[in-house]
Amino acid sequence: MSEPILQATGLSKTYLSGERRLEVLRGVELTVSAGETVSIRGESGSGKSTLLHLIAGLDKPDTGTLAWEGSADTGAARRARFLGMVFQSFYLIPELDALGNVLMAARMLGKVDAAARARAASLLERVGLAERGHHLPAQLSGGERQRVAIARALMNSPRLLLADEPTGNLDEKTGESILELLLSVAAEQGAALVLVTHNPAHAARASRRMTMHAGVLSDV
Q: What is the DSSP string of 53-89?
A: HHHTTSS--SEEEEEETTB----HHHHHHHEEEEETT
State pTM to two decimals.
0.94
Q: Is the pLDDT of residue 2 over 70?
A: no
Interatomic CA distance for residues 138 and 119, integer angstroms: 23
**H/E run at residue 172:** helix 172-189
Q: For 75-131, what is each residue's pLDDT tens digit? A: 998 999 999 999 999 999 999 999 999 999 999 999 899 999 999 999 999 999 999
**For residue 220, what pLDDT band results from cuts at 50, 70 and 90?**
confident
What domains can you pick out in the chain, each with its CATH number? 6-92+158-219 (3.40.50.300)
The stretch 208-218 carries a mean pLDDT of: 96
Would you state the pLDDT for residue 191?
Answer: 95
